[in-house]
Structure 1
Amino acid sequence: MTNVAPGLETDESQFAALAAEWRAILADERAKGTAQLTADESQLNTLADEWRAILVAEQQSSTALAAMWEIRFADLRAEHDELVRDGAWVGGPDDMLSILGLGRKELFHSALLAWLLDPRGRHGLEQRTY
């Protein structure tokens, strides 16, 4: 069996089993003296060669794709590390209401803003603008 990409071994072994079965049929027919055997065997060998070429191409394609993704992942990792180093990578909720689980409740946001913007509010902020 040739070296093939993971997951394609089954295809190769199935093809090998079918080829062996076909060759056995050809051998039986040859013993009977059928004239078509040489052409059939040649066609089988051609199909086997084409199949192996497909498997090799698939393996090369998979290997190239994996290498491309490894390079891209390394680039993303370097970008992430740079953002963390610069302090630009942050996480967590954006505001107090999100922390409380009310981040998408517009009425709560509106009520909070109304309270903060009321110069007579008990918050003691008066007319200061932040």
Structure 2
Amino acid sequence: MLILIAGPYRSGTGDDPAKMAENLKALEAPSYALFKAGHVPMIGEWVALPVWHAAGGGKVGDDLYEEIFHPVAGRLLQLCEGVLRLPGSSKGADNDVRIATERGIPVWYRLEDVPGCGTLAA
């Protein structure tokens, strides 16, 4: 399955690039376990960041940022077959869960609950 990993990226960072990079690392942490279980992990920022940069994005939270970041997740959710919601406050991740739920896409809150990951998560 293509599984969107959703959790805090910008939330709680004050737009500090170092803190946002730490949050991206946390989002990426379960990606290998998902891959080992036969899934394809996806993170919205993996798509949104290069699109934003290519479009001339300059400041986190600017109009261009807002135009790209949340819509990317919505578009990805048209393709994803599941969402892994990581802990932490995030309006964007909460919105991803809302969209997934409305579309009947399963949402998991623990890696070990994702099909095939029960024996991989430790």
TM-score class, shorter: under 0.3
Task: Pick 1 or 2: higher relative contact order, CA cutoff 8 A, min separation 6.
Answer: 2
Q: Which protein is bigger by CA-based radius of gyration?
A: 1
Which protein has the bigger strand share? 2
TM-score, normalization: structure 1? 0.27
TM-score by length of 2: 0.28
